[in-house]
Structure 1
Amino acid sequence: MYLFQVFGIVAITSAISAEFRSGSCHSRLTVECSCPPQWHLWGNECYRISPSLHTWEDAKSACQGIGGKMATPRSLEEMNFMAELARKVGSNYYAWIACTDMEKEGTWECDGQEGEEPFLEWADEQPDDDSGNQDCAAIASSLGEKLDDGECRISTWAICVRRAACTHGLIQLRH
C-alpha cells in the first residue's frame, strides 16, 4: 500500500513538472473524497453516529466495529458538523466524543490529540463534575450544542470517524 501511495505522488509530481516545463501552466491538482454508505463526508474524513446507544467505553468498541474510531473535534466548525449530524438522530441528543479526564480530574485528553492542547468548546459552567464521576465528554443539544462532562456509564449515541477514500488527479484547464 505504501509503495502505491509513493508511486502515485511521484506520478502526480512528474505530471505537474512536465506541465510547467512545457510552458503551459493550465493544470490543477484535484482531490475527490467519498465515504461508505451511512457515513457523511466532512473534509477528508467520514462521520456517522453509532447505530445504537453505548456507554463511553463501549462506544469506542462500537465505532471500531463499524470501521472507525470515536471522533474528537479539532475546531468549532468540525464540532458544529458533528452536532448537526447528531441532530439528525433527534433534536434532543447527547453524543459521546473521544475525550476524557479519567486519568487526572480536570486534565482532559482526547484520542488523536496526544501532546497537544485538545479543542474543547464547553457549555457555560462546564465541565462541572457534579456527581464527582463525570469523566467523559459529549456534545449535548440541551447545552447549546456544546460539550458536557457526563458519567461514562450512561448509554447514549457516539460520534464515529474514519478516513475518507480520496483520489488525486490532474485536470487540464482550458482558456
Structure 2
Amino acid sequence: MNDPKDNRKKQLGPLDEEQLITNGTRYSIKSFGFQPNSGFNSFAGCLSHSHVPWLLQVFFLTVFSVLLVVILVKVSKIPSSQGLAQSKEEKVYQELTQLKAGVDRLCRPCAWDWTYFEKNCYFFSMIQKSWSDSVTACQKVGSQLVVIKSHEEQNFLQQTSKKRGYTWMGLIDMNKESRWHWVDGSPLTLSFMKYWNKGEPNNLGEEDCAEFRDDGWNDTKCDNKKFWICKRPATSCSRK
C-alpha cells in the first residue's frame, strides 16, 4: 500500500519544490523580524523566481551591495556648489594678493598722480591758485614751480597745459621789470624768448608772472588764480 506522503511528494513538480523552498526561506527570514526594502525585494524576487542557482544569487546580491556602497562613497566625496564657490573665491583672492605684491615691487620713477617726461616728474594741478600760492604748493611736496630747461620740455608742457587751461610756470620779473628769471635763480635765455605770444610780455598793469596761454607764454598779474605745474627729478630704479 502506498504511503500518502509519498503520493504527495510524487505530485510535486520541480517548480513546486522551488516555490516550497523559496516560501520556506521567506518564512524563515520573517521569523527573525527582517523586512527587506522594496528595491531589494524586487531584485531578490527576480533572482528567486529564476533558474539561477542559490550560490549565484548570493554572489549577485553581494556584488549589488558592494556597488551601492561604492556609489555612496563617491557621492559623499563630491564637493557641494557652495564649497566650489568658496574655493574659487579664495583662489581669486590669492591671485589678487600676488598681483598687488608684484605691482608694489615695480619701480616707478614718479608717484601715481605725477607724469614722467625725460627723467623728470610733473604734477599738473586740478585746482587754481595765485602764483605765490602755487610756489608754496610745489615746495610742500618737495618740488618747485616748473623751470623749463629744454625745447623738448617746453613743447611737452605747452601742449599739456593747453588742454587744461592757463597755467603758471616758475618765471617772473618781480625784482626788475623786463628782467625775467626762473624760481631757481637762473635767467631766461634768449633762445626761449621766442615762446612769448605776439606782443608779450607787455607788462600791462603790473604783470610780473608768466603763464602758459594757448600756443605760447603770457605775462599776467601774479594774484590771478591759475593752474600750476610742479617739477622734480624722477626716482632712479636700482636693478638687482
Q: What stretches of structure 1 of length at least 5 have no aligned partner?
A: 1-31, 171-175
Q: Which amino acid aligns with 2:203?
A: D
Look up the SS of the partner of 1:84 in the other structure. Answer: helix
Q: What stretches of structure 2 of length at least 5 have no aligned partner?
A: 1-106
Structure with greater helix percent? 2
Partner of 1:123: 197
Out of 67-76 and 116-125, give the one that drifted further: 116-125
Which of 144, 161, 177 lines up with 1:86 in the alignment? Answer: 161
Q: What is the CA-CA distance between 1:59 and the residue it aligns to?
A: 0.4
Call closer, same or farther: CA 1:71–1:39 in 2, change over 3 Å: same
Partner of 2:209: 136
Q: Which amino acid aligns with 1:155?
A: K
Q: Computing the radius of gyration over CA atoms, which structure comes out larger, 1 or 2?
A: 2
Matched length: 132
Look up the SS of the partner of 2:219 in the other structure. Answer: strand
- CA distance in structure 2 between the aligned counterparts of 1:149 and 1:50, rounded to whole angstroms: 20
Look up the SS of the partner of 1:167 in the other structure. Answer: coil
Look up the SS of the partner of 1:47 in the other structure. Answer: strand
- CA distance in structure 2 between the aligned counterparts of 1:130 and 1:82, rounded to whole angstroms: 25
**Bigger RCO of structures 1 and 2 (CA < 8 A, at least 6 apart):** 1
- Is 1:98–2:173 an aligned residue pair? no
Q: Is the 8 A contact 1:46 1:164 kept in 2?
A: yes
Q: Is the 8 A contact 1:56 1:154 kept in 2?
A: yes
Structure with greater strand percent? 1
1:15-61 C-alpha deviation (Å, 9 max, x unpaired): xxxxxxxxxxxxxxxxx972111111111100121242110000001
Runs of 4+ that moved beyond 4 A: none
TM normalised by structure 2 equals 0.50
Partner of 2:180: 108
TM normalised by structure 1 equals 0.67
Question: Share of identical aligned residues, percent?
Answer: 27
